[in-house]
Structure formats: C-alpha cells, structure tokens
Amino acid sequence: MNESKIILKKSLGEWFNMMTAGGYRVVGPVGQDGQIDFEPVTSPDAVRFDHVQTNNSGKWVMFPRYEAMMRFRLSGKEVQAGEIPPQAPPTVLFGAHPCDAASLATLNAVFTWDSSDAYFEPKLANTTIIGLSCTKGDSYCFCTSVGGGPGDTRGSDVLLTPLDGEKFLAEILTEKGKSVVGLAPQLFSAADGTSKEAALAKIPARFNHRDVTAKLPSLFPKEDVWKEQSLRCLGCGACAYVCPTCSCFDIQDERDRYTGVRIRCWDSCGFGLFTLHASNHNPRHKQSERWRQRVMHKFSYQPERLNVLGCVGCGRCSRSCPVDMNLGEHVAALAEIKV
Amino acid sequence: MNELQQTAKDLLEKNAVAVVIGYGMGSEPSLRRAVFVRKPDQAPQLIFDESCRQNLAFYVLKPEVKALGKAAVVARTPTLRTLLQLATENQITDESVVALPVGNGSVQPLTNFAAIEQYLANVPRGFTAQEQQELAAIKSKTLADRWAFWKSELSRCIKCYACRAACPMCYCSKCIVEVNQPQWVPVPSDMLGNLEWNVIRAMHLAGRCISCGSCADACPAHIRIDLLNQLLATEAMQQFGAEPGLSVRKDYALATFKPTDKEEFIR
Amino acid sequence: MTAANLYIPYQMRIDKVTEEAPGVKTFRLGFVNKDDEGRFSFKAGQFGEYSVYGEGESTFCIASPPTRKGYIECTFRQMGRVTTALADRDEGDIVGFRGPYGNIFPIDEWAGKNLLFIAGGIALPPMRCVIWNCLDLRDRYQDVTIIYGARTVADLVYKHELAEWENRSDVKLFTTVDPGGQTPDWKGKVGFVPTILEQVAPSSVNTIAIVCGPPIMIKLTMPVLAKLGFKPEAIYTTLENRMKCGVGKCGRCNVGKVYVCKDGPVFTLAQLNQLPPEY
C-alpha cells in the first residue's frame, strides 16, 4: 500500500478541483499569522503551508463544537421528539500535521472503545486525511516525546512532505488515500526513492512518555506537586478546546417556547462545574485536582485503559494558555521527580 | 537585585506577607508568567518589564493562592485600580493585601487602600491613543458594519471562558452561564450563545471594568472583547460619571440607582 | 433508542406517580413502543439517563427490580433543572429513558448467604431494586436484614414498602431517624445509621453487606462493618458521580482509570480501596 509519488505545488489546484468535483468538502488551514484555523477551502491558494500550528485543531470535522442530536416540538407538556440523523459529508482534511493525524486514534478510542457513536464514527469514516509533514516546529512542539514525529505517517491517508518550494513527496498510505490520489492520478509522478527525512523539522524529545505513564500513578498522591504546577492556572477551558484529542462533552437541551434541540457540545475538565454533584459535593473541588486529572487522563488513564496516549505533542494547549501553563514543560518536570 | 526584588525580599523576611505574586520568566524568552514567591531567596525570580501584562489581582481572590497567606501583588496601574474596585465591591478588606506598584518609578509598598488611592491620584488615566483610535474606528462604523464586525469576531468564540477566568472582576461564585433555572445563556458556542455570553459579560462589567485588557489577552481566538468593555466603560462614564477603581466608594454604577439617571442607553 | 444511535432515548409514559417524601417522587414508566419493551432487559444495580425533552437528562438508578416486568421505576429528589421539570410531569406524560447502563449487584454469587442492607435517605432507591430482586428470589438467601435511616420520619421513602417488609417474617427491618427527626407516634429507632448498625450488630459470618447512602454515612458505616468482622470483599456500595453520556465517552465520571458508568456504579469496598480518593 505504502507508495510514494511526487506532486508539484502548482498541481494542487487541479487536485483540489477534482476533490471538490468528486463531492468532497476540503478543509484546510487558512488565515493570517496568529489566527490560522481549519476551514472549508476551495483552492490551495488560500491554504497555509508555512505555519507551525493552527490555533484550533481540526477535530471539529469529526467532533464539532456542538451538534444537534434530537429535535423537539413542545406544546405545554405535549412533546414530539425525533432523532436528528448524524451528518457526515465526505471531507478531506488537508494539511493536518502528523500530530493532528495521530490524534484521530485517540478520538476514535474514546468514542468507540465500548460502544459505537452514531455521530462520531460516520464522520471519521467519511474523512480522508491529507497530512502535511512539518518542516519547522517551535519550542512548544513535543511530538517526538509522545511517540510521534514531524514526518510520522500515523493517521494520515496521504502524507505530503514539502521537498522544496515546488514539490511534495506524497506517501499514499491507505485505501482512502489511494481514492483521493486516484481522482487525479496524472498529477502524481514517480518518486524514484526520494527521501523526506532531510526536509523534516528537528524536534528534540523532552521526556519518555512510557516512563511518565509508568510513574504517574505514584505521583497522584503528591498534592504539593500538582498544586505548585497549577497555582497560576485560571481554570478556563482554552487548553481543552484547542486540543486535538480532548473529547469530553456535555449533553444539553436548548429550547424556546415551542421547539427544542438536544445537543452535545465540548466541555472541559478544567471547569469546576464539570464534576459537581447535585448535592454540591465535588470529587474534583480544587483547580489542582482538575489539573492533575488533565495530566493523568492523557498520560496515565488513557494509555492504561484505552491503549492510546491522550496527547500528541502539538503544543496548542500551551500556546493558547493565557497564563503559560506549558504541558510539555510540566510533564517533563513530573518525569524528573524521584519517587 | 533590583528594587522590586529587594522590596519583595524585605517583605518576606519581615513576614509582612507570606507570598509575593509577581511576574517571572515564561516558557519563551519573550513570555512572562505569574510566579508565587514565598521564600526571600526566591525574590530574584521577579521580573518587571513591558511583557508583563496579566492582571495579577485575579490571584488575590483565587482560593489556592489565598490559602498561602497574606499576599503582596506586583501591580501595574490597572491592577491597582482593580484592587480598589474589588474593595468597592467588598471582595477584599483593607490592609489584607499589599500592592507593589510598578511602572511609575519607585516600588513603595502600598499597604492600604488609602495609599493606593493616593498613588493613583498622580497617575494619568483614560484610554491610550491607540485604544482611543480603535474605539473611534468602531464607533464610526454603520450599525450594519458594526454588527458584521462583532458577528465575525464572536463566531470564533469557543466558549472556553478564558476571558472570564482571566478577569479579576469576574469573581461571581455562580456565573450567569452556570445558572440553568432558567437557562439564561445557551450552553453551546453557537452564534446566539456566543453573542449572549459576550454581551451579558460586557454588561455585567459596565462601570466596573477597569480596562486592563486581560480578557482579550487571554482569548485563544483573539477576539477583541476588550473593545466591547471599553465601549461600555465610555458609555458608563458618560451616562453615570462612573470611573471605577479610583477610590473605594460604595456607589459604583451597577449597584446604584438615582432618580436622575439617564436611560438613554436603552434604545 | 435505536440500535444505531444510543443517544436517542426510549419514549416512556408515566403510568403512576407516588409522592414519597417532601420533594421526592417515584415514577412508574411504561414503554410507549411495545417493541422497545420486548427488547429491554436490565439487572439490579443498573442506571439510566431520564429525560424531559427540552430540559435535559438526569442520571438515576432503576429503582424497581428486574423481576417485575413491563415497567421500570425511578425515584428522584427535585434538585436541578431536569429534576424540577420531571417533578412537574403528571401521569400520562411522556419522558425519555436511555439505558440500562453500568454493572450490576452480583446477586447470583450471593446465593446461600445472609444479606445485610444498609441505606440512608434518598439512597434507598438503588437498594430497593436489589432488595426486591432478592426478596422475589427469597429461597436463595439466608437471613435478610435491612437497616434504613432518614433525617426525619417524613424523609423516609417507600413508606408502604417499609410497612410490608416490617410485616414479613423473613425480613428483619430496622428503621431509624436522626435524633430530633422523630414524631410522637414514631415506633422505629432514633439515631444515626452507623450507631443503629452497631446496636443491631448483625453477624458478619457468611454475610454480604450492601451500603448506599450519603458520603458521610458511608464513611462512618465502614469502620463499624469492619469492627463487626466484614471483609472489604463482602461490602458493596454504589458511586454516584456526575454523568452525561452513561456509556464511557463524555469523560466526567472517572475515578482514576475507572469509569463509574461502565465499571460501576456497583463496587466492593475492596475495589474502592484500590481507587484514588476522587469520588
């Protein structure tokens, strides 16, 4: 399956046209420096190839900010309730960096580990990832500490690596990848053994995630450690919402007098309300406990329970944090603690 | 050791305070982050420069920081004003916090509200030239253009509530978005929910916001919510003569009714 | 609920409303769609998401035993937005139900043993399901003892069933109210549940203890059980963490790597002792 080809940058426009004509919605990184996000695009001209990272991740393609699941007609206590069938338009997520592509495994594990999820699964099934290797990173990137890398192919259906300003190495990795390449095979030429390695960014590893996972259960009771790290944490949800793997959600009903919808929407373990009981008891009452939950969930509970790491090292949480809570730094510090 | 570090060290050595809330090095050379200095020999961690923007008054109210004991807080002018407004709203008591004023010469600890009031009396106030320019630009837009501007800004809101979290004046133990009987503000970050959230927050801060800009700095979507607050601050000042955070007084606009109040803002 | 979309609830009709205590009601719910009823089965200890359309979902146990077919019951206290809306429904109204979710009380394993049920306040409902389940299969078990306490006489739920248990010769029932909560004609005990447990002092030999109640009651009851010789493996309780999905996805009910909605709500004390104290 793993076949490598070359595609010229100037050919991308035609490929986009073929994808659009083929019924795909193409979503790619667009915007100005400082505010680049994944949005529907029609031409590669708008797409950014030179950014380190988008502000928000592309997870909304599979797991939107909010999604209606039921519709109600209300008349006093008379109710008509109906399912809103899941929407899953065929989508190409173009230009997702390897960290984002790797995040799909985590999302998939959460949504399907025990039962199927009618809203997530069809979206994932109908999404093709055309990844984009990283030729540069910044100090927030730590993919190499969590099992990934700037040219990691996991999760991508096709992985593009910019070889110079003019052409990309295209690794065709899955059947889905084959399909989108098959829309315009004439644009792809033989790669003749061209290697991507020289083009890739160098991201130094900051910690060994297996050591961290092994150590975290023994760090759980060290309240001072968690308190000290989280003293400046504001308790907002920015880190969770920009994170490509954070998938905690809320289910809420919204209504006016005559109609209503049941939606699911993003939620965050950083909020005090997240675990608050009706009795007012709160198992994670303090911000330090919520910070600990965030780290434990990603680096201990998910690896142990779902066999996936809950972090892909994209660094978005830390870039977005209003108070410079730096996950890579803090996990590296945890790894240093003697137990 | 500079004057700030020396002052902090002295306060800790004398046990005048248990913690100095200040700015230290962040994860990037250009970044600063809040630090909580509890030992005199840690005072050299403290930095103050142009990159130190966060309004540290937030931490004066944070339970985990409160638990450390009496605090001194490194205070830019907006932080000093925040402290007075918090005092006005009975959130902090006199002499419970020491302010270390920075940015205008000597770092002389201000140990009570009167001292902060006196200090602020000599500090120029009002919006900066750039802020005035931005406000004027918004005001000069037609209603339709203004609506389009805010719609585009607020469409990026992901309801992470970083604005609320960063704002020292957003101290409500139960925020309006958490009240669900009735559900005032839609929970999802859809257009209506985003509009209602940001407008309600701005209204609740009208006449209380001291325009520190922490909300906009905190916003991961770079929404200029600070402009919304500044517009309302201008409005509150014109309508009610309310300029918050200059003195500890009990008649701030949101908590006062006068028969002579104009009602021109309801149109 | 369709097989394909677990977020869509069964439509349930409220067939009977019982006022249990101030602010506490029991609904008997029947399936609107008979096919749903045919497909549906559950076991003691499981829970579900009950919904008022337009107001939201709320998590409670199934309070009726699986041995009573054709309906389920839930007992809830009016607390927040959903339970307030729920309390406002009448017989004949339609509500939603998703479930059953979670693990079960292993009542088959308990065959041949004595059963000691200890409950406080609004925590009798999860217990009532398993009590009736066991009483409906009474021959399987040895002695059945129930200790139930509430703050006041008025706060005792299932009053008619308490009377029924009281009159059964094969059940030992001890009801109690907190000091000051008794009425002049109160014939039960007065005192907190752990104190009454100590007085009753049931034998731990060949006995399973099932404890449901507010955290403080559970906390104070465990040492008494230990003193009576109960091993952590022989003590069962339920965790009541906040939930939204009920199926291990939404991320809020976890205690360590354990999902209360999937691995619980039923745990032995031995299992709880292995978890981080985050519940």
Interface check for C69 against chain B (CB to CB < 8 A): the answer is no
Q: Say what the pTM is.
A: 0.94
DSSP state letter for B79: H
User: What's the average model confidence in pLDDT over C141-162?
Assistant: 95
Whether B246 and B208 have beta carbons less than 8 Å apart is answered as no
Written as six digits, the tokens of B117 are 């009031």
* Single-letter code of the amino acid located at C52: V
- Using a CB–CB cut-off of 8 Å, the residues of C that contact A are 2, 4-9, 11, 51-57, 79-80, 83, 89-90, 93-94, 96, 214-215, 240-242, 244-245, 247-257, 262, 276, 278-279
Stretch (H or E) spanning A265: strand A259-266
Query: Is the CA virtual torsion A184, A186, A191, A196 positive or negative?
Result: negative
Integer Cα distance of B31 and C196 in angstroms: 61
- Helix/strand number for chain A, H first, E second: 11, 12
- What are the beta bridge partners of residue C52? C56
DSSP state letter for C118: E
* Single-letter code of the amino acid located at B11: L
Interface check for C79 against chain B (CB to CB < 8 A): the answer is no
- Residue in the structure block whose two tokens are 């020999």: B41
Residue C180's region, left for phi above 0, alpha for psi from -120 to 50, else beta, is left
Give the SS3 label for residue C61: strand
* Single-letter code of the amino acid located at C103: N
Written as six digits, the tokens of B65 are 């920081």
Nearest to A316 by CA among A105, A159, A138: A138
3-state helix, strand, coil in chain A (%, to 5): 35, 25, 45
3-state helix, strand, coil in chain C (%, to 5): 25, 30, 45
Range of the domain at A52: 3-336
Written as six digits, the tokens of B53 are 């923007």
- Residue in the structure block whose two tokens are 């809330």: B21
Nearest to B243 by CA among B234, A145, A26, A30: B234
| Interface touch B183/C84, C-beta < 8 Å | no
Distance from CA of B257 to the nearest CA of A (A): 32
Structural domains of chain C, ranges and CATH numbers in brackets: 10-101 (2.40.30.10), 114-238 (3.40.50.80)
| Interface touch A248/C55, C-beta < 8 Å | no
C203-262 residues touching B, CB cutoff 8 A: none
**Model confidence pLDDT, tens digit, residues C208-245:** 999 999 888 999 999 999 999 999 999 999 998 999 99
Whether B176 and B185 have beta carbons less than 8 Å apart is answered as yes
Integer Cα distance of C239 and C267 in angstroms: 8
Angle at B200 between CA B252 and CA B173, to 5 degrees: 70
- CA separation, residue C178 to residues A245, C25, C76, C182 (Å): 48, 21, 21, 7
Interface-testing mutation among A232, A253, A316, with chain B (most B C-beta atoms within 10 A):
A232
C92 vs B243, more confident? C92
When CB atoms are compared, the residue of A119, A269, A278 closest to C80 is A278
Terminal C-alpha separation, chain B: 56
Integer Cα distance of A281 and C251 in angstroms: 18
What pLDDT score does A56 carry?
A: 95
B267: pLDDT strictly greater than 60: no
Split into its structural domains, chain A has a count of 1
% of chain C exceeding 70 in pLDDT: 99
When CB atoms are compared, the residue of A115, A251, A276 closest to C57 is A251
C2: pLDDT strictly greater than 60: no
Average pLDDT, chain B: 92
- Residue in the structure block whose two tokens are 């909020």: A271
Whether A114 and A320 have beta carbons less than 8 Å apart is answered as no
Chain A nearest-CA residue for B223: A35
Chain A nearest-CA residue for C93: A77
| Other beta carbons within 10 Å of A183 | 17
Query: Is the CA virtual torsion A222, A223, A227, A233 positive or negative?
Result: positive
Whether A81 and A69 have beta carbons less than 8 Å apart is answered as no
Integer Cα distance of C235 and C223 in angstroms: 11
What pLDDT score does B122 carry?
A: 87
Whether B86 and B168 have beta carbons less than 8 Å apart is answered as yes
Task: Tell me: cis bond preceding A44? Omega within 30 of 0 counts.
Answer: no
Written as six digits, the tokens of B46 are 């403290």
Nearest to B54 by CA among B84, B83, B99, B22: B22
Integer Cα distance of A270 and A287 in angstroms: 7
Integer Cα distance of A254 and B232 in angstroms: 29
Partners of chain B (3+ Cβ pairs below 8 A): A, C
Print pLDDT tens along chain A (339 aa): 589 999 999 999 999 999 999 999 999 999 998 899 999 999 999 999 999 999 999 999 999 999 999 999 988 778 899 999 999 999 999 999 999 999 999 999 999 999 999 999 999 999 999 999 999 999 999 999 999 999 999 999 999 999 988 999 999 999 999 999 999 999 999 998 889 999 999 999 999 999 999 999 999 999 999 999 999 999 999 999 999 999 999 999 999 889 999 999 999 999 999 999 988 889 999 999 999 999 999 999 999 999 999 999 999 999 999 999 999 999 999 999 988
| Order of strands, sheet of B32-37, starting from the edge strand that comes earlier in the sequence | B32-37, B19-25, B71-75, B97-101
Integer Cα distance of C81 and B183 in angstroms: 9
Written as six digits, the tokens of C216 are 């403080």
Integer Cα distance of A275 and A265 in angstroms: 16
**Model confidence pLDDT, tens digit, residues B112-142:** 999 999 999 988 888 889 989 999 999 999 9
pLDDT band at C1 (very low <50, low <70, confident <90, very high): very low
Interface check for A255 against chain C (CB to CB < 8 A): the answer is yes
Q: Which residues of C touch B181 (CB under 8 A)?
A: 80-81, 84
Whether C15 and C71 have beta carbons less than 8 Å apart is answered as yes
What pLDDT score does C278 carry?
A: 87
For chains A and B, count residue pairs whose Cβ atoms are closer than 8 Å.
Answer: 106
Chain C nearest-CA residue for A85: C5
| Interface touch A251/C7, C-beta < 8 Å | yes
Integer Cα distance of C267 and C263 in angstroms: 8
Interface-testing mutation among C78, C79, C81, C242, with chain B (most B C-beta atoms within 10 A):
C81
Distance from CA of C81 to the nearest CA of B (A): 6
Cα B194–chain centre separation: 21
Integer Cα distance of A118 and C3 in angstroms: 10
Written as six digits, the tokens of B174 are 């139960």
Distance from CA of C243 to the nearest CA of B (A): 17
- CA separation, residue B2 to residues B43, B45, B103 (Å): 10, 11, 13
Distance from CA of A170 to the nearest CA of C (A): 35
| Interface touch C251/A248, C-beta < 8 Å | yes
Average pLDDT, chain C: 94
Strands C47-52 and C56-61 come out as antiparallel
Nearest to C177 by CA among C215, C262, C120: C120
C33-62 residues touching B, CB cutoff 8 A: none
Integer Cα distance of A185 and A199 in angstroms: 24
Residue C237's region, left for phi above 0, alpha for psi from -120 to 50, else beta, is beta
Interface check for A333 against chain B (CB to CB < 8 A): the answer is no
Integer Cα distance of C57 and C97 in angstroms: 9
Integer Cα distance of C64 and C125 in angstroms: 8
Interface check for C80 against chain B (CB to CB < 8 A): the answer is yes
Strands C114-120 and B19-25 come out as unpaired
